[in-house]
Every structure is written in C-alpha cells, then in structure tokens.
Amino acid sequence: MTDKSSYTPDEVAKILKISKYTVYELIKRGELAAYRIGRKFRIERPDLEAYIQSKKSQASAPASNMSTSVETAISEIPSPAAYPHPSEELIICGQDIILDVLTRHLVKYRPTLRVLRNYIGSIDGLTALYRGQANVATVHLWDSDSDDYNLPFVRRLMPGHQATVINLVYRLQGFYVAAGNPKNIKTWQDLVRPDIRFVNRELGSGTRVLLDEKLRLLRIPHHLINGYYEEEMSHIAVASKVARGEADVGLGNEKAATQVAGLDFIPLQRERYDLVIRQEDLPKAPFKALVEVINSESYRQEVEGMGGYDVSQMGNIIED
C-alpha cells in the first residue's frame, strides 16, 4: 500500500477487506472519523489507524502505540471469521426515516440478516441497483411527460432488467418557509423573485428532479433562481437552513418540516415513494422477509403513527 495522508471510502474498504457500504456505516455511526470535500468523504491516515487500534483493543490483541503504521496494524487485525456475523446481507438505498424503521423491523424479523443503508438519492439508487452495487432502491421520481412516478425511470435506468416496484407510502412535497411565510412564497414562479434566496437538493435526488421538471415546463432558466446551485444532501438539511434564516425557501417533504422548529410547509405535489427490487431476487429468503415486513401490520402502524405519510397503499405492487 502506498504511503498516503488520506483515503477514500473505497480505499479504506480495500485496506480493511470490507465493503465500501460498511465503511459508510462506520462513518455514519461515528466509529470512523471522516470529513467531506464537496460530496466525497475522506479519511485521514491517523483516524484510520485509530479505528484499527480500537478494534485491536476490543479483540484484546497486544497493545501497540498509536504510531504503528496502517500496514502493520492491518496485519494484526483478527480475521473476520473470529467474530460472529450475519450470514445474509441487504444493501438498501434511500434517505427517508421510514427506511430506518424498516431496517429495524427487518432485522428483528430475520436476525441472520445484516441490513446496510446507502444514503443516496433516487437516481443514484437505481443506478446502484442496475450495477449490482445494491439490492434495493427507493425512489420518488416524477416524469412530467406521463405525469407518473417512478416507472418511466425504472424502465430507462434499468434496461434489460425486470424489476418489481412496491409502494411504501405517499408523501407531500412542498416549500419550507419561515413560520408565518413572511415573504408570501406560494408558487414555483416565486422562486425567481429577486428578494428570495433558495436552497436546492443535490443532483439525482427525487426532489431535484421534481424541481427541474417544473422549471422546464414553466420555461424558467435555472440561473434566474438565487441559490439554485447551493445544494444540501437531505430534506432535514434543507429545512434546517431555512429555519436558521440562511435561505428563504427550500423544497422537500412534509415530514421534515414537522421535525424542524420555526417552519411552515406549503404543499405543492403529492408523490409516490416506492421500493424497487430486481425481479430475480424476489424468491430469495431475505427479499421474501423484506416484502413480509412491508406488509406487516406492525410496520404499517409505526409509520402511520409518525405522521406525514399516507400508508393506505403500502405493500401494493405497482409493477411486477
């Protein structure tokens, strides 16, 4: 291994002989320190060494000083076989909090299953599913030509693959504005007003697709919107920026507006949030368990109790 001062998640995965999605999980849980450059994570060499040392300590390996090289430390890490681990694995792409709930129910229902989350947007999720880098994608992609959600994108982004599309929930998309809506923001056309500061979502997210399609239909050029090129990576991040007064308006789902104080929500469009699986995977035990949990009364009731979601069609097959 070359002597480097920092690593990408892919490089860390190769060093530790784990999947890159496990690396992202370690970062998310705070076990592995990392920082962002744009949309990319970087891990400093001392932080990687610290993580390795912590695992060595947990395994009661002989203590060594923190200046030990990554190469030496790696050679002393116990084999993965030394630890009990699930025999099955699912990688689920998506960002909504109901996927956290789904993961918890799924692991409880099938303890041998390890579920990993990849917190990426709808288009990136479908691309990962097509490339075999994920098992499940969740999507909310509006197609303006058909006025339909998800199916046109599944067909275009997964050519030659049969997919099963299952509804999870319906949600409302709309504007986050300061409490009382002091700038009276109500329509897509309001975004071009010179007194309005907008905060956007990242390319590939379903929210960004909805915005760009609406602007295209209304013939509104992107550059006329103050803040169009300023991106955040989640509904909560957008809502928080508006609540802090760093933007006047952002676009996102209703649930996030209820989780951030000091906001009003202006509903604009009802959207369908679906789960996508390769049809060939459906007969496999982990996927059968996934479908059974989605159709369970306990999962439905918990999501419904959270508020902000319409669960009336949960579990319905949209396309098979």
HSE-up of 230 (CA within 13 Å, CB side)? 16
- 123-178 residue pLDDT tens: 999 999 999 999 999 999 999 999 999 999 999 999 999 999 999 999 999 999 99
- Give the span between the Cα atoms of 46 and 120, in whole angstroms: 27
- Give the span between the Cα atoms of 59 and 77, in whole angstroms: 8
**CA 141-145-146 angle, 5° bins:** 75
Architecture of domain 172-271: 3-Layer(aba) Sandwich (3.40)
pTM of the model: 0.74
Positions of CATH 1.10.1660 in the chain: 6-82
Strand partners, 149: 142
Does domain 88-170+273-319 sit in CATH 3.40.50.1970?
no
Architecture of domain 6-82: Orthogonal Bundle (1.10)
DSSP state letters, 226-241: TTTT-EESSHHHHHHH
DSSP state letters, 175-221: EEEETT-TT---SGGGGG-TT--EEEEPTTSHHHHHHHHHHHHTT--
Strand bridging mode 136-139 / 142-143: unpaired
The answer to whether 19 touches 13, Cβ cutoff 8 Å, is yes
Positions of CATH 3.40.190.10 in the chain: 88-170+273-319, 172-271
Residue 39 pLDDT grade (very low, low, confident, very high; cuts 50, 70, 90): low
- 216-249 residue pLDDT tens: 999 999 999 999 999 999 999 999 999 999 999 9
- Checking if the pLDDT of 79 tops 80, the result is no
- Checking if the pLDDT of 36 tops 80, the result is no
